[in-house]
Structure 1
Amino acid sequence: MHQMNDLRRIDLNLLVILDALLSEQHVTRAAERLHLSQPAVSHALGRLRDLLGDPLLVRAGATLVPTPRALELIAPLAEALAQVQSLLAPNTFDPATAKRTFRLAMSDYGAAIVLPGLIRTLRREAPGIDLQISHASREGMLDGVLNGDIDVAAGVFPELPNELRSTPLFDERYACLVDHQSLPADGTLDLPTYLARPHVLLEMRGSGTPEIERALTALRERRRVAISLPHWSVAPEFIAGTDLILTVASRGLRGIDEQSLIVVPPPFHIPSFTFVLVWHKRRGGDQALNWLNGRIEEGINPVIN
């Protein structure tokens, strides 16, 4: 009976405010996000503290820090609100009139492949749809999808938690970018040369290229990484006029200036991989998200270099 009384005291608005507070960890920012006054959000936080028997957010300098109880609530609260949103959503999704913001996570490599076609489609078919793009490690992107901060992630995810669903976009292979003057006349790159030369590694913490290192380990070989950086787009600029080698997904090397650079196959076998879209299973009934995922799939060029 006590539990039923507690349920009668909670309304959906309180849960929405709690979600914003846990996300922003700041009363004023949460109020701005919800288009409410700061006193109204502070009053709601007081009610939540009373209902849940926990301070939820405690002050640490200029910010509010979630308590252990609040941290436990983040994921189930996001899931509950997503389910309510799906329940109350109209039966049909009309892209021509929809007003919505989607939060996508991907690397700059993924952005170069996914976004051009997607954005042209949105401007033509769904001008009221806005996108917020973020970049994180593989683990960071999956965490964002799990906790509701991200609607869909695009990338390479060899292992997925049971709560997530995925669909393949394309299969990809690796290629090497080198200065053409650093190769013999026949333009081949052999394994001894590959191992003797310095390399550029594209890496964020938790999102490097373990496939390449595993392939070399299988040969009982290692390469020397002279430059490690997280920026895909600038990496090819390091190669011209140097002995550096960049080994990356082949689609990222489209449009390379072939006057000074050349794309060649790796001189050893590196398994291909699948680039996928990932979303939370609780979003399966979200027609708008399903529509967006379909437009992303349609916009991918099926031809691989």
Structure 2
Amino acid sequence: MRDAHVLRGKLDMLVAADVILDCENLTLAGQRLGLSQPAVSRTLGRLRAAFDDPLLVRVGGRMRPTPRAEALRAPLAAMLRAAEDLYAPAGFDPARARRAFRAVIPDVVAAVILPELLARLAKAAPACRLELLPWRPQAEQPRDLDLVITTEIDAFPDFRMKPLYQDDDILAFAGEAPSGDPLALEHVAVIAAGASRDPVDRWLAEQGRSRRIVAVVPHYLLALQLVARGGHVAVLPSRMVAALGAPLGVRGLELSVPQDPDQQWLMHPPQLEADAGNAWLREQVEAVAR
């Protein structure tokens, strides 16, 4: 493995060579390099030894480059430009980028943000695509995962996170608005994989109440479809019902019982904190989630 200090020393010498050959004057070169004239003279001496050439010779009252020095100008400039590119932060041009972003987004959130998010990607980043992955905890996700949207922050303990949006639950129904005690209606509960109960039943139990459950499904979208067929109700996130309910004839009523709002979090791996492409994607998600 190359020694980093040796490489850095050689790079400094090449920078000095570029400046000295550009100025053709040791005093001016010293001003640009932040070195005294004696220090620049010593540097020129090392460069002459390294290239086995005088590089600059005094002609009359001025220093003139040798043919070898003239031949070095272009490759020196190209090499230093390449070095600057290595140290410069990687940018992201969505119009030219070709990248597959991989994300975990639950159906309840995808229903709200995905149509506009895909439209934004198609317009601003036409060669990029979004791949949605199934829900799994952090340890079981691929290493190239870009972001996660979830309420389950404990499942991704190492990820950076910020609040995305809050949503209240409503009573979703089709047809005429139900009357009487809403908890006595035939409810479709949603219990996601790995969960033991619907969050609705947790905060109802905290108030000493319960509801009549006639079916349990693993996804909010399936619950919405069952409600649309009539005869059942479900407690669903209001933004999902607003986004998808109208074509299905599903509306919502505010719940008459206190509830905990659903807090969705936008999360990403810490190693992608400074990644320009990942930051751009997070900005797009935040914009469509407002």
- Residues 94 and 111 of structure 1: is their aligned pair in 2 closer, same or farther, counting only changes over 3 Å? same
Instruction: Please state if 1:130 is matched with 2:129.
Output: yes
**Could you tell me how far apart the structure 2 residues matched to 1:201 and 1:224 are?**
9
SS at match of 2:251: strand
Greater Cα shift, 174-183 or 97-106: 174-183
1:104–1:243 Cα change, 3 Å? same
Cα pair distance change 1:129/1:162, threshold 3 Å: same
Structure 1 residues 181, 259: CA separation in 2 closer, same or farther (over 3 Å shift)?
A: farther
Q: 2:241·2:250 contact (CA, 8 Å) conserved in 1? A: no
> Which whole-Å CA distance do the structure 2 matches of 1:106 and 1:89 have between them?
32
Alpha-carbon offset, residue 177 of structure 1 = 0.8
Which residue is 1:26 aligned to? none
Q: Please, which of 172, 188, 192 is the counterpart of residue 177 of structure 1?
A: 172
1:156-195 to structure 2, matched below 5 A, reads: 156-159=151-154, 161-181=156-176, 183-184=178-179, 193-195=181-183
* Larger mean Cα displacement after TM superposition, 126-135 or 226-235: 226-235
In the alignment, which of 193, 216, 223 is matched to residue 204 of structure 2? Answer: 216
Partner of 1:292: 281
CA-CA distance at 1:196 after TM superposition: 2.0
CA gap 1:128/1:199 in 2 versus in 1, 3 angstroms: same
Q: How far apart, CA to CA, are the structure 1 residues paired with 2:109 and 2:197?
A: 15
Say whether 1:101 aligns with 2:100.
yes
Distance of 1:157 and 1:273 partners within structure 2? 10
> Does the 8 Å CA contact 1:141/1:150 hold for their aligned counterparts?
no
Letter in 2 for 1:221: R
Q: Structure 1 residue 162: deviation in Å?
A: 4.1
Match of 2:214 in 1: 226
Q: C-alpha displacement at 1:271, in angstroms?
A: 1.1
Shift of 1:167: 1.9
Correspondence for 1:113: 112
Cα distance change on mapping 1:259 and 1:211 into 2, 3 Å:
closer
Q: Find the aligned partners of 1:133 and 1:293 in 2 and give their Cα distance.
A: 15
SS in structure 2 at match of 1:289: helix
Select 2:187's aligned residue among 177, 189, 199: 199
Instruction: Tell me the TM-score normalised to structure 2 length.
Output: 0.62
Partner Cα distance (2:90, 2:130) in 1: 23
How much has 1:198 moved relative to structure 2? 2.2
Deviations 1:91-149 (A, max 9, x none): 2111111111111111222212222121111111111212211232xxx154455x525
Identify the residue that residue 33 of structure 2 maps to in structure 1.
none
Query: Separation in 1 of the partners of 2:175 and 2:148?
Result: 36
Q: Where does the alignment leave 5 or more consecutive residues of structure 1 unmatched?
A: 5-86, 185-189
Give the 3 Å change call, closer, same or farther, for CA 242–259 of structure 1 in structure 2: closer
Higher CA-based Rg: 2
Aligned to 1:279: 268
Write out aligned runs for 1:24-35 (5 A): none
TM-score with structure 1 setting the length: 0.59
Separation in structure 2 between the aligned mates of residue 110 and residue 160 of structure 1, nearest angstrom: 17
8 Å CA contact retained: 2:137, 2:155: no
2:154 is paired with a residue whose SS is: coil
Contact 1:135 1:141 in 2 (8 A): no
Deviation beyond 6 Å, 4+ runs, structure 1: none
Could you tell me how far apart the structure 2 residues matched to 1:133 and 1:256 are?
Answer: 23
